[in-house]
Amino acid sequence: MKTDCFDFKLPKELIAQKPCTPRDAAKLLHIGECLRNLTIRDLPNIMSSKDILVLNNTKVIPARLKGLRNKTSIEITLHKLNSDKTWRAFAKPARKLRTGDSINFSTNFSATVLEKKENGEIVVSFSGKELFNSLNKYGSMPLPPYIKRKNNGTNPDELNYQTVYASNLGAVAAPTAGLHFSKELIEQIKSTGIDVVELTLHVGAGTFLPVKVENIHDHAIHSEWGKLNKESVERINLARKAGGRVTACGTTVLRLLESAVNENGELEPFEGETDIFITPGYKFKIVDRLITNFHLPRSTLIMLVAAFTGLERIKSAYEYAIKSGYRFYSYGDASLLERKK
Protein backbone atom coordinates (compact mmCIF):
# COMPACT_ATOMS: atom_id res chain seq x y z
CA MET A 1 0.00 0.00 0.00
CA LYS A 2 1.36 3.42 -0.96
CA THR A 3 2.27 6.04 1.64
CA ASP A 4 0.64 8.66 -0.59
CA CYS A 5 -2.75 7.17 0.36
CA PHE A 6 -2.30 8.74 3.81
CA ASP A 7 -1.34 12.24 2.72
CA PHE A 8 -3.46 15.35 3.10
CA LYS A 9 -3.00 19.11 3.23
CA LEU A 10 -3.44 20.82 6.58
CA PRO A 11 -3.55 24.60 7.03
CA LYS A 12 -0.77 25.68 9.41
CA GLU A 13 -3.21 27.68 11.51
CA LEU A 14 -4.93 24.43 12.55
CA ILE A 15 -1.76 23.09 14.19
CA ALA A 16 -2.47 23.82 17.86
CA GLN A 17 0.34 25.67 19.63
CA LYS A 18 -1.34 25.72 23.03
CA PRO A 19 -3.81 23.34 24.71
CA CYS A 20 -7.46 24.02 25.22
CA THR A 21 -8.27 25.54 28.62
CA PRO A 22 -9.58 23.88 30.70
CA ARG A 23 -8.37 20.46 29.55
CA ASP A 24 -11.78 18.86 29.20
CA ALA A 25 -13.27 21.68 27.11
CA ALA A 26 -11.69 20.37 23.89
CA LYS A 27 -13.88 19.43 20.95
CA LEU A 28 -14.53 15.75 20.22
CA LEU A 29 -15.45 14.51 16.75
CA HIS A 30 -17.34 11.21 17.03
CA ILE A 31 -16.43 9.19 13.93
CA GLY A 32 -18.68 6.23 13.19
CA GLU A 33 -21.36 5.57 10.60
CA CYS A 34 -21.93 9.32 10.76
CA LEU A 35 -20.08 12.29 12.26
CA ARG A 36 -21.12 14.03 15.47
CA ASN A 37 -19.70 17.22 16.97
CA LEU A 38 -19.24 16.74 20.71
CA THR A 39 -16.86 17.78 23.48
CA ILE A 40 -14.66 15.67 25.72
CA ARG A 41 -17.12 16.35 28.55
CA ASP A 42 -19.75 14.36 26.64
CA LEU A 43 -17.84 11.09 27.12
CA PRO A 44 -19.75 9.91 30.22
CA ASN A 45 -23.00 10.27 28.27
CA ILE A 46 -21.90 8.22 25.27
CA MET A 47 -20.39 5.33 27.21
CA SER A 48 -22.20 2.42 28.84
CA SER A 49 -21.79 1.40 32.48
CA LYS A 50 -20.53 -1.95 31.14
CA ASP A 51 -17.69 -0.28 29.25
CA ILE A 52 -14.09 0.03 30.37
CA LEU A 53 -11.70 2.92 29.71
CA VAL A 54 -7.97 2.20 29.50
CA LEU A 55 -5.43 4.98 30.18
CA ASN A 56 -1.65 5.18 29.70
CA ASN A 57 -0.01 6.39 32.93
CA THR A 58 3.45 7.04 31.49
CA LYS A 59 5.09 10.29 32.61
CA VAL A 60 7.10 12.54 30.31
CA ILE A 61 10.65 13.28 31.45
CA PRO A 62 12.46 16.60 30.74
CA ALA A 63 14.44 14.81 28.03
CA ARG A 64 15.99 17.77 26.20
CA LEU A 65 19.42 18.84 27.47
CA LYS A 66 21.82 21.61 26.41
CA GLY A 67 25.50 21.18 27.15
CA LEU A 68 29.05 21.70 25.97
CA ARG A 69 31.62 19.46 24.30
CA ASN A 70 34.71 21.49 25.09
CA LYS A 71 33.45 24.88 23.82
CA THR A 72 30.93 23.56 21.29
CA SER A 73 27.23 23.80 22.19
CA ILE A 74 25.43 20.47 21.93
CA GLU A 75 21.73 19.70 22.38
CA ILE A 76 20.55 16.14 22.95
CA THR A 77 17.06 14.74 23.21
CA LEU A 78 16.77 11.42 24.99
CA HIS A 79 14.33 9.05 23.34
CA LYS A 80 14.85 5.51 24.63
CA LEU A 81 16.24 3.81 27.74
CA ASN A 82 18.26 0.71 26.87
CA SER A 83 18.26 -2.45 28.97
CA ASP A 84 21.79 -1.67 30.22
CA LYS A 85 20.64 1.74 31.55
CA THR A 86 22.29 3.65 28.71
CA TRP A 87 20.17 6.02 26.62
CA ARG A 88 19.62 6.51 22.93
CA ALA A 89 19.36 10.17 21.98
CA PHE A 90 19.28 12.54 19.04
CA ALA A 91 22.13 15.07 19.03
CA LYS A 92 22.47 18.47 17.35
CA PRO A 93 24.98 18.94 15.79
CA ALA A 94 25.86 15.23 15.86
CA ARG A 95 28.74 15.73 13.42
CA LYS A 96 30.68 17.50 16.18
CA LEU A 97 30.65 14.41 18.39
CA ARG A 98 33.00 11.44 18.55
CA THR A 99 32.81 8.20 20.51
CA GLY A 100 34.27 8.84 23.96
CA ASP A 101 33.39 12.55 24.03
CA SER A 102 31.95 14.08 27.19
CA ILE A 103 29.00 16.46 27.06
CA ASN A 104 28.85 18.65 30.17
CA PHE A 105 25.49 19.99 31.30
CA SER A 106 26.74 21.32 34.66
CA THR A 107 29.78 20.93 36.90
CA ASN A 108 28.45 17.63 38.27
CA PHE A 109 26.23 16.33 35.47
CA SER A 110 27.59 15.01 32.18
CA ALA A 111 27.14 12.31 29.55
CA THR A 112 29.66 10.18 27.67
CA VAL A 113 29.11 9.29 24.02
CA LEU A 114 29.35 5.50 23.75
CA GLU A 115 28.29 5.06 20.14
CA LYS A 116 27.32 7.09 17.07
CA LYS A 117 24.50 5.85 14.85
CA GLU A 118 22.78 7.16 11.73
CA ASN A 119 20.61 10.28 11.37
CA GLY A 120 22.09 12.10 14.35
CA GLU A 121 21.44 9.35 16.86
CA ILE A 122 23.91 8.57 19.64
CA VAL A 123 24.11 6.27 22.67
CA VAL A 124 25.15 7.90 25.95
CA SER A 125 25.73 7.04 29.58
CA PHE A 126 25.29 9.57 32.39
CA SER A 127 27.36 10.44 35.42
CA GLY A 128 25.75 10.10 38.83
CA LYS A 129 22.95 7.88 40.11
CA GLU A 130 20.01 10.28 40.40
CA LEU A 131 19.44 10.84 36.68
CA PHE A 132 15.80 11.91 36.89
CA ASN A 133 16.62 14.49 39.57
CA SER A 134 19.30 15.92 37.28
CA LEU A 135 16.90 15.93 34.33
CA ASN A 136 14.33 17.83 36.38
CA LYS A 137 17.01 20.39 37.24
CA TYR A 138 18.73 20.82 33.88
CA GLY A 139 16.38 19.38 31.25
CA SER A 140 13.37 20.82 29.45
CA MET A 141 10.17 19.34 28.09
CA PRO A 142 10.76 17.72 24.66
CA LEU A 143 7.90 19.27 22.72
CA PRO A 144 7.11 17.98 19.22
CA PRO A 145 8.78 19.92 16.37
CA TYR A 146 5.47 21.38 15.18
CA ILE A 147 4.92 23.19 18.51
CA LYS A 148 7.00 26.34 18.27
CA ARG A 149 8.70 27.75 21.36
CA LYS A 150 11.62 30.16 21.63
CA ASN A 151 13.12 28.21 24.52
CA ASN A 152 11.96 24.60 24.16
CA GLY A 153 9.25 23.63 26.63
CA THR A 154 8.22 26.61 28.75
CA ASN A 155 6.95 26.44 32.32
CA PRO A 156 3.26 26.04 31.32
CA ASP A 157 4.26 23.13 29.09
CA GLU A 158 5.71 21.29 32.08
CA LEU A 159 2.13 20.94 33.34
CA ASN A 160 0.17 21.07 30.08
CA TYR A 161 2.25 18.40 28.31
CA GLN A 162 1.56 15.86 31.05
CA THR A 163 -1.59 13.89 31.84
CA VAL A 164 -3.15 14.43 35.27
CA TYR A 165 -2.71 10.71 36.02
CA ALA A 166 0.92 10.39 34.86
CA SER A 167 2.90 8.33 37.38
CA ASN A 168 5.57 6.18 35.70
CA LEU A 169 8.60 8.14 34.46
CA GLY A 170 10.03 7.20 31.09
CA ALA A 171 8.23 8.81 28.13
CA VAL A 172 9.78 11.47 25.91
CA ALA A 173 6.42 12.36 24.37
CA ALA A 174 3.01 12.59 25.98
CA PRO A 175 0.17 10.16 25.26
CA THR A 176 -1.71 13.16 23.94
CA ALA A 177 -5.27 11.81 23.96
CA GLY A 178 -4.98 11.70 27.73
CA LEU A 179 -4.15 15.41 27.96
CA HIS A 180 -7.88 16.16 27.60
CA PHE A 181 -8.85 14.38 30.82
CA SER A 182 -9.23 16.34 34.05
CA LYS A 183 -9.42 14.60 37.41
CA GLU A 184 -13.04 15.70 37.64
CA LEU A 185 -13.93 14.13 34.30
CA ILE A 186 -12.31 10.83 35.26
CA GLU A 187 -14.29 10.78 38.50
CA GLN A 188 -17.48 11.57 36.61
CA ILE A 189 -16.82 8.66 34.23
CA LYS A 190 -16.24 6.33 37.18
CA SER A 191 -19.40 7.55 38.90
CA THR A 192 -21.51 6.25 36.00
CA GLY A 193 -20.22 2.72 36.64
CA ILE A 194 -17.56 2.70 33.92
CA ASP A 195 -14.37 0.96 35.02
CA VAL A 196 -11.09 2.82 34.45
CA VAL A 197 -7.79 0.92 34.37
CA GLU A 198 -4.21 1.88 33.56
CA LEU A 199 -1.24 0.47 31.71
CA THR A 200 2.19 1.90 30.91
CA LEU A 201 3.75 2.48 27.52
CA HIS A 202 6.73 4.84 27.39
CA VAL A 203 6.19 6.92 24.27
CA GLY A 204 9.36 7.46 22.22
CA ALA A 205 10.40 10.26 19.87
CA GLY A 206 9.82 7.93 16.94
CA THR A 207 6.12 8.68 17.25
CA PHE A 208 6.80 11.96 15.37
CA LEU A 209 8.79 10.41 12.52
CA PRO A 210 7.15 10.52 9.07
CA VAL A 211 7.08 7.47 6.84
CA LYS A 212 9.58 8.23 4.07
CA VAL A 213 9.36 5.02 2.05
CA GLU A 214 7.00 4.66 -0.90
CA ASN A 215 5.39 1.44 0.33
CA ILE A 216 4.18 1.49 3.94
CA HIS A 217 5.24 -2.11 4.53
CA ASP A 218 8.87 -1.15 3.92
CA HIS A 219 8.80 1.15 6.95
CA ALA A 220 10.63 0.05 10.10
CA ILE A 221 8.61 1.26 13.09
CA HIS A 222 10.18 2.24 16.40
CA SER A 223 9.81 -0.03 19.42
CA GLU A 224 8.56 1.14 22.81
CA TRP A 225 8.55 -0.44 26.27
CA GLY A 226 5.24 -1.22 27.90
CA LYS A 227 3.64 -3.07 30.79
CA LEU A 228 0.11 -4.42 31.27
CA ASN A 229 -0.40 -6.06 34.66
CA LYS A 230 -2.55 -9.01 35.65
CA GLU A 231 -5.19 -6.96 37.48
CA SER A 232 -5.84 -4.72 34.47
CA VAL A 233 -6.06 -7.78 32.21
CA GLU A 234 -8.63 -9.39 34.50
CA ARG A 235 -10.77 -6.24 34.64
CA ILE A 236 -10.65 -5.77 30.87
CA ASN A 237 -11.60 -9.40 30.27
CA LEU A 238 -14.43 -9.11 32.82
CA ALA A 239 -15.85 -6.07 31.03
CA ARG A 240 -15.66 -7.83 27.66
CA LYS A 241 -17.44 -10.92 28.98
CA ALA A 242 -20.22 -8.68 30.34
CA GLY A 243 -20.74 -7.17 26.89
CA GLY A 244 -18.87 -3.96 27.57
CA ARG A 245 -16.75 -2.12 25.04
CA VAL A 246 -13.03 -1.53 25.50
CA THR A 247 -12.25 2.14 24.92
CA ALA A 248 -8.55 2.89 24.45
CA CYS A 249 -7.47 6.39 25.39
CA GLY A 250 -4.80 6.91 22.77
CA THR A 251 -2.94 4.95 20.14
CA THR A 252 -0.32 3.92 22.71
CA VAL A 253 -2.98 2.09 24.72
CA LEU A 254 -4.36 0.43 21.61
CA ARG A 255 -0.92 -0.71 20.46
CA LEU A 256 -0.05 -2.26 23.82
CA LEU A 257 -3.41 -3.99 24.23
CA GLU A 258 -3.18 -5.49 20.76
CA SER A 259 0.42 -6.54 21.51
CA ALA A 260 -0.71 -8.37 24.64
CA VAL A 261 -2.97 -10.84 22.81
CA ASN A 262 -1.77 -14.45 22.78
CA GLU A 263 -2.07 -17.01 19.97
CA ASN A 264 -5.56 -17.97 21.18
CA GLY A 265 -6.79 -14.40 20.85
CA GLU A 266 -6.83 -13.86 24.63
CA LEU A 267 -5.51 -10.82 26.46
CA GLU A 268 -2.70 -11.61 28.90
CA PRO A 269 -0.17 -9.67 31.01
CA PHE A 270 2.65 -8.09 29.05
CA GLU A 271 6.00 -6.52 29.86
CA GLY A 272 8.64 -5.66 27.29
CA GLU A 273 9.16 -4.03 23.90
CA THR A 274 6.50 -3.73 21.23
CA ASP A 275 7.02 -2.66 17.63
CA ILE A 276 3.55 -3.55 16.40
CA PHE A 277 2.80 -1.68 13.16
CA ILE A 278 -0.94 -1.46 12.52
CA THR A 279 -2.01 -0.74 8.96
CA PRO A 280 -5.24 -1.27 6.96
CA GLY A 281 -6.09 -4.95 6.88
CA TYR A 282 -5.14 -5.58 10.51
CA LYS A 283 -7.76 -7.54 12.48
CA PHE A 284 -8.35 -5.90 15.85
CA LYS A 285 -8.87 -8.28 18.74
CA ILE A 286 -9.43 -6.20 21.87
CA VAL A 287 -10.22 -2.52 21.31
CA ASP A 288 -13.72 -1.41 20.29
CA ARG A 289 -13.38 2.37 20.51
CA LEU A 290 -10.41 4.72 20.29
CA ILE A 291 -10.04 8.23 21.67
CA THR A 292 -7.23 9.96 19.80
CA ASN A 293 -6.10 13.35 18.54
CA PHE A 294 -5.86 14.30 14.87
CA HIS A 295 -2.61 12.99 13.39
CA LEU A 296 0.11 14.01 10.97
CA PRO A 297 -0.17 13.10 7.30
CA ARG A 298 2.00 10.19 6.15
CA SER A 299 2.53 9.04 9.75
CA THR A 300 2.19 5.57 11.27
CA LEU A 301 -0.62 6.92 13.45
CA ILE A 302 -2.80 8.06 10.55
CA MET A 303 -2.30 4.56 9.17
CA LEU A 304 -3.40 3.07 12.48
CA VAL A 305 -6.63 5.09 12.67
CA ALA A 306 -7.36 4.26 9.03
CA ALA A 307 -6.97 0.58 9.89
CA PHE A 308 -9.28 0.99 12.88
CA THR A 309 -12.21 2.83 11.33
CA GLY A 310 -11.61 2.54 7.57
CA LEU A 311 -9.45 4.58 5.19
CA GLU A 312 -12.31 6.28 3.33
CA ARG A 313 -14.11 7.06 6.58
CA ILE A 314 -11.00 8.64 8.09
CA LYS A 315 -10.30 10.66 4.94
CA SER A 316 -13.85 11.99 4.97
CA ALA A 317 -13.70 12.74 8.71
CA TYR A 318 -10.38 14.59 8.45
CA GLU A 319 -11.67 16.65 5.53
CA TYR A 320 -14.69 17.58 7.64
CA ALA A 321 -12.51 18.35 10.68
CA ILE A 322 -10.32 20.70 8.63
CA LYS A 323 -13.32 22.53 7.18
CA SER A 324 -14.87 22.78 10.66
CA GLY A 325 -11.76 24.25 12.28
CA TYR A 326 -10.79 21.35 14.55
CA ARG A 327 -7.31 21.83 16.02
CA PHE A 328 -4.70 19.20 15.10
CA TYR A 329 -1.84 17.29 16.71
CA SER A 330 -0.61 17.10 20.32
CA TYR A 331 -2.34 20.16 21.77
CA GLY A 332 -5.33 19.88 19.44
CA ASP A 333 -8.85 18.51 19.68
CA ALA A 334 -9.81 14.83 19.88
CA SER A 335 -11.78 12.22 18.00
CA LEU A 336 -13.69 9.15 19.16
CA LEU A 337 -13.43 6.37 16.60
CA GLU A 338 -15.74 3.40 16.32
CA ARG A 339 -14.06 0.23 15.11
CA LYS A 340 -15.00 -0.72 11.57
CA LYS A 341 -17.19 -3.83 11.60
Total-model pTM? 0.93
Per-residue confidence at 276, pLDDT binned at 50, 70, 90? very high
Q: Residue 154: is its pLDDT beyond 60?
A: no
Sequence-separated contacts (24+) of 259-265 with Cβ below 8 Å: 259/226, 260/228, 260/233, 260/286, 261/285, 261/286
Higher-pLDDT residue of 208, 337: 337
Residue 209 has pLDDT above 80, yes or no: no
Q: What whole-number distance in Å separates Cα of residue 228 and Cα of residue 243?
A: 21
The rounded Cα 285 to chain-centroid distance in angstroms is 21
- How does pLDDT run across 31-82, given as a tens digit for each residue? 999 999 999 999 999 999 999 999 999 999 999 999 999 999 999 999 988 8
Domains delineated in the chain: 3-60+159-338 (3.40.1780.10), 64-139 (2.40.10.240)
The percentage of the chain sitting over the pLDDT mark of 90, rounded to a whole number, equals 85
